[in-house]
Amino acid sequence: MLLQNCHLLLRRLADEVNIGKDTVRKIVVEDLQKQKICSRFVPHSLTPEQKDRRTAACQDLIATADSDPDFFKKIVTGNETWCFAYNPTTKRQSTAWVRETLPRPKKLQFQQSRVKTMLVIFFNWQRIHKEFVPEGETINAVYYKGVMERLRNRIQRVRSGMCESGDWFLLHDNNLFHNATIIKQFLAQRKVTVLDYPPYSSDLAPADYFLFPKVKSHLNL
């Protein structure tokens, strides 16, 4: 029965086989070694084509890194994120060691601040460029083109060798304005190589899983 429907309740199983619920629990947990767990949330269910593209992109990255030991140092990656005046700590962040005899610590419930600003940052193995979007401005293709211009100028100033040789790669996600025609034309005219970024691949964007969480951890109460 569990093979046919793994979501069955113990009460339902007990009624079906006409034995006690405690007996069913013992059989399921001890004899069958089953445990009931919640499904893990995933933001998207990738299609076979999207999975193939992710696989191909990762294989290309690995092959390039194997042929060029300095490849990862040549990648300039970045993104945008909202920064709030404060972010409440998560349940995991607020955990604390206490004696068994002491009551459980209490945590006040806070909401994110209404005061927020958009941070844009690009980096390789060192920080290269950051800026805050002025109040009232909206990031769109035109604004992002300006970001790309300022990023390139910054690279010329602090990493002139990279800019002169053109031996660097841009990695940004597939946001609509990142893939706008004027952005592609701007990067192509300046011979900037853009690495492939498959859909829904935040694990390939270091800003999302590495940098931004560290930055925002300092804004938590």
- pLDDT per residue over 138-149, tens digit each? 889 999 999 999
- Domains: count for the chain: 2
Cα distance between residue 135 and residue 127, in whole Å: 24
**Assigned token pair, 121:** 């940052």
Rounded distance between C-alpha atoms, residue 38 and residue 92, angstroms: 18
Q: How many CA atoms lie within 13 Å of 190's alpha carbon, on the beta-carbon side?
A: 21
Residues 134, 66 within the same domain: yes
Cβ atoms of 16 and 4 within 8 Å: the answer is no
Pure H helices in 42-85: 48-67
Signed CA dihedral, 11, 14, 20, 22: sign only: negative
- Condensed to tens digits (0 to 9), the pLDDT of residues 35-46 reads 777 665 555 678
Report pLDDT for 111.
54
Q: Examine the domain organization and report whether 129 and 157 are in the same domain.
A: yes
Q: What is the pLDDT of residue 54?
A: 87
Same domain, 180 and 142: yes
CB 66 within 8 A of CB 199: no
Residue 199 confidence (pLDDT) above 90: no
Strand partners, 116: 84
Three-state SS for 195? coil
What's the pTM?
A: 0.64
If asked whether residues 27 and 92 sit together in one domain, one would say no
Instruction: Kindly state whether residues 109 and 55 are assigned to the same domain.
Output: yes
* Residues 34 and 138 reside in one and the same domain: no
14 plus 62 within the same structural domain: no
User: Do 112 and 35 fall into the same domain?
Assistant: no
152/194 same-domain check: yes
183 and 198 in a common domain: yes
Residue 97 has pLDDT above 50, yes or no: yes
Q: How many helices (H) and strands (E) does the chain have?
A: 8, 5
Residue with tokens 């086989």: 17
Structural domain of 1 = 1-41
Kindly state the percentage of the chain with pLDDT values over 70: 78
pLDDT at 112 over 60: no
Q: State whether 57 and 119 are in the same domain.
A: yes
Where residue 155 sits, what CATH number does that domain have?
3.30.420.10
pLDDT tens digits along 72-83: 888 898 888 887
At 178 the three-state DSSP class reads coil
Q: How far is CA 221 from CA 62, 76, 147, in A?
A: 40, 31, 31
User: Is residue 35 domain-shared with residue 109, that is, in the same domain?
Assistant: no
